[in-house]
Amino acid sequence: MSDFTSAWAACKDDAARIELFNRWLKSRRPLPSEDARHAAFRLRASLVGLDEEARIARGEQPPVPPCRTPPRTPPRSPPASPKTPKRRELKHQRSACAEAYSVHDDWDDIWIFGYGSILWRQGFAFERSIVGYVKGHVRRFHLADAQHRGTSKDPGRAVMLEQGRDNDRCWGCAFLLPTRDAARILETMDVRESAYEKRCLDLYGRSSDDVPIVRDVVAYVCPRCPQRSKAAGHTGESPITTIASIIASARGPSGRNVDYLYRLDGWLLQHGIRDDHVRSIAKLVHEREEAEEESRVCEDEPCAAAQGRVVVDDGAAEVVSNCGRSLLAVGVVRVVGDFGAGAHVAVVSVAGAAIAAGRTAYAADDLRALAGKRSRCCAELRPRHSGEPGVVIRKADMVLS
């Protein structure tokens, strides 16, 4: 340990310190305590980040990360003696194979690649994250989801990571697991994603297409075996119109399937990532929802005359016409006509200009009593109202003029 301390003090820059840490890792010499070991890993990660930022500022290409030695081949089990029980022999073989095929050793940093809901809801702790992509894979809405965004009778759709062409890319985010909890988190993920194949892929960034920024990122991929992929819920190729129709109508214990789609599309747009598959489906679903909203208002009475008028002030007219918001009782000036709840009414300005038309949630007498009142006051005056307090015409039930 004294040699390491003196060598560390002799380092002149961050690059030398990083190289010293790498040599220490290869030597496998233990540090005095577990806390010191964790501190060394955190310091190495921070030094790598500082060195990467300095390299980018100088306009240099990042160095090629050292390749990890390939995983050991599974050892051949010795021939079992006649006295050895078969169950014990099978258990020994499984543990030996699991140990041999473990790509990540105890001292390695473990990263998990997220491409779906894990992007905004990880469900585990992580130290840092990096946005990047993996090569040769694509993200597709080919997973039949009957647990979260659908039911067994009407399953929704979620994304899967599938094998693609060599020039395909799938953008996502890699999460670095804490050293102390990495084994536990990885074991939990293995159980949760047991239907998928666990692979270690290289993560690339925006700066370089040739040099990975992180090697051996853990990714859970759709199995290549047809039987296993079908068991995992893989639906196969489907037209995007069919996928959009399923997503628009599916709903499960975790909510609407549409929310999952919009959340994923929003994350990709926020990070400047273009995914034609997700974007195309999101556009189709959005157009379908807009068409359904218009038909919901005008169905069965496309040319029916308004049964009354709701006069609103200039502020409400601005919010409804330009911002696309619902009409609230606080913006109502007066009510013309006698109509009941659910009637088709016209929304006009004080000057008499037509603004919108839609179905009112309040009857004329109730709306006169609530005109100019805030939503909290509306809830007190009409506590038995079944709809949202203070909302006269919802955005979904209104068509702009």
CA 325 to chain centre: 27
392 with 329: CB under 8 angstroms? Answer: yes
Give 192's contacts (C-beta < 8 A, 6+ positions apart). Answer: none
52 is catalytic: no
Helix (H), strand (E) at residue 378 = helix 375-381
| Identified catalytic residue from 89, 193, 293, 318 | 193
Q: Give the residue from 81, 77, 84 showing the smallest Cα distance to 100.
A: 77
In this predicted model, what pLDDT tens digit does every residue of 226-248 receive, in sequence order?
Answer: 776 776 678 888 899 999 999 99
332 with 372: CB under 8 angstroms? Answer: yes
Q: Give the residue from 320, 317, 306, 321 showing the smallest Cα distance to 359.
A: 306
DSSP string of 136-164, one letter each residue:
TEEEEEEEEESSSSS-SSS-EEEEEEEE-
Per-residue pLDDT band at 302 (split at 50, 70, 90): very low
Question: Which carries the bigger pLDDT value, residue 42 or residue 242?
Answer: 242
> Is it the case that residue 197 has pLDDT exceeding 90?
no
CATH number given to 111-291: 3.10.490.10
In this predicted model, what pLDDT tens digit does every residue of 81-120 receive, in sequence order?
Answer: 544 444 444 444 334 333 333 444 444 688 999 999 899 9
In three-state secondary structure terms, 302 is coil
Q: Does domain 309-400 have CATH number 2.30.130.10?
A: yes
Residue recorded with tokens 């992580």? 126
Dihedral, 227, 231, 233, 236 alpha carbons, nearest 10: 10
Spatial distance between the Cα atoms of 40 and 18, rounded to a whole number of angstroms: 11
Residue 93, pLDDT score: 39
Strand 354-359 to 327-328 pairing: unpaired
In this predicted model, what pLDDT tens digit does every residue of 314-332 receive, in sequence order?
Answer: 888 888 877 778 899 999 9
Residue 398, pLDDT score: 87
Residue 279, pLDDT score: 94
Give 144's contacts (C-beta < 8 A, 6+ positions apart). Answer: 150, 155, 156, 157, 233, 234, 235
Per-residue pLDDT band at 6 (split at 50, 70, 90): confident
**Residue type present at position 348:** V
Spatial distance between the Cα atoms of 383 and 381, rounded to a whole number of angstroms: 6
Spatial distance between the Cα atoms of 394 and 361, rounded to a whole number of angstroms: 8
Spatial distance between the Cα atoms of 357 and 376, rounded to a whole number of angstroms: 25
Per-residue pLDDT band at 44 (split at 50, 70, 90): low
Q: Which residues pair with 161 in a beta bridge?
A: 139
Cα angle for residues 74, 113, 73 (degrees, 5° grid) = 10
**Average pLDDT of the chain, as a whole number:** 78
Which of these ranges, 52-56, 222-226, 274-278, has the smallest mean pLDDT? 52-56
In three-state secondary structure terms, 357 is strand
Query: What number of other Cβ atoms are within 10 A of residue 168's Cβ?
Result: 15
Q: Whole-prediction pTM value?
A: 0.51
Structure tokens at 86: 């078969």
Strand 309-312 to 344-349 pairing: parallel
Q: Give residue limits of the domains in the chain.
A: 14-56, 111-291, 309-400
Question: Which carries the bigger pLDDT value, residue 306 or residue 131?
Answer: 131
Tell me the C-alpha to C-alpha distance, in Å, between residue 256 and each of 116, 192, 290, 397: 16, 22, 16, 20
Q: Which residues pair with 204 in a beta bridge?
A: 133
Backbone angles phi, psi at 168, to 5 degrees: -75, 150
Q: Which residues pair with 391 in a beta bridge?
A: 328
> For the chain, what is the total number of helices (H) and then of strands (E)?
12, 16
Residue 264, pLDDT score: 93
